[in-house]
Amino acid sequence: MSFHPKMIYDATFHKSTRTLAEEGAPFVYTPDHRARLVEILGRYPPTQKRSAVLPALYLAQQQDGYITASAMRHVAEILEITPADVEDVVSYYTMFYTKPVGRFVLNVCRTLSCALNGAERVTEAICDHLSIEPGQTDSSGTFTLCEVECLGACDRAPVIMVNDAWHECASPDDIGRLLDDLRTRGEAAVTGCHHVIEARSTGR
């Protein structure tokens, strides 16, 4: 019964659009990363190696920029779980990438408090400057734009998370300068967390 003719119920459901990770080059941790993982494993009971799956995946992502199927197998082997267990986790958490991303991932918060303070316009400005839409990487491979949900800094809205660094109180007018600064100065260009800035200005 076409009760609601304009609604498509299946194909656009966001959770069915995920694709399998690519195979990628054979993966082993660098000795540094391996040592770091061994240290992290010491935080959990010896029978609970699986607990280290998130840190293990962060290390893999740090190494390759994103997570490949061969990295997942390597993680599974070390943690003594199945590759499916690892993939289950990778596909669930939003901070793991299964395809290459730009040098800077611009995560613009789109949830209520940021939206009330103009986050949509910030996203729009980034789209216009880079000629991309959310979810895409620009042609030079420098920037990937993502819209993310609440980042937990609503008093400094709108917030952009640039890789692991924060850029707060963003404004559509500043986006051009921010992008240029990121290209030339890297993550040093972001304003950072305002608590940190305050502390710095008072002599920290």
Partner 1 sequence: MEPLLTAHVREPNSFTLEAFLRHGGYEGLRKALTMTPDEVIEVVKASGLRGRGGAGFPTGMKWQFVDKKSPKSRYIACNADESEPGTFKDHVLMERNPHLLLEGCAIGCFAIGAKVAYIYIRGEFFHVQQVLEGAIAEAYAAGYLGQNVLGSGFSCDIYVHRGAGAYEAGEETALLESLEGKRAQPRNKPPFPAVVGLYGCPTAVNNVETLSNVPLIVKNGAEWYAALGPEKNGGPKLYCVSGHVRRPGVYEASMNVTLRELVEGYAGGVREGRTLKAVIPGGSSVPILLPDQLDTRASFDDVQKAGSLLGSAGIVVLDDTTCMVWLAENLLHFYRHESCGKCTPCREGTDWLYKILRRIDRGEGHMRDLDLLGSVSSQIAGKTLCAFGDAAVTPVVTTLKHFRHEYEAHILEGRCPLVAPWRASQPVRA
Q: In the complex, which residues of this chain contact partner 1 (CB under 8 A)?
A: 4, 6-7, 9, 13-15, 43, 45, 48, 50-55, 57-58, 79, 81, 85, 88-89, 92-96, 110-113, 115-118, 120-121, 123-124, 127, 148-157, 161, 164-166, 192-193, 195-196, 198-199, 202-204
Minimum CB distance to partner 1, residue 181 (Å): 19
Show Cβ contacts of residue 175 under 8 Å, excluding neighbours closer than 6 positions. 122, 125, 126, 129
Minimum CB distance to partner 1, residue 18 (Å): 11
Minimum CB distance to partner 1, residue 103 (Å): 17
Single-letter amino acid code for the residue at 121: R
Note whether 106 and 146 are within 8 A (CB): yes
- Give the C-alpha distances (Å, rounded to integers) separating 182 from 80, 131, 187, 202: 40, 17, 6, 26
Q: From its phi and psi, is residue 95 left (phi > 0), alpha (psi between -120 and 50) or beta?
A: alpha
Distance of CA 50 to the CA centre of its chain: 22
Nearest to 158 by CA among 102, 107, 93, 95: 107
Nearer to partner 1, 26 or 95 (CB): 95
Nearer to partner 1, 57 or 71 (CB): 57
Minimum CB distance to partner 1, residue 5 (Å): 10
Nearer to partner 1, 47 or 184 (CB): 47
Nearer to partner 1, 184 or 201 (CB): 201
Nearer to partner 1, 143 or 166 (CB): 166
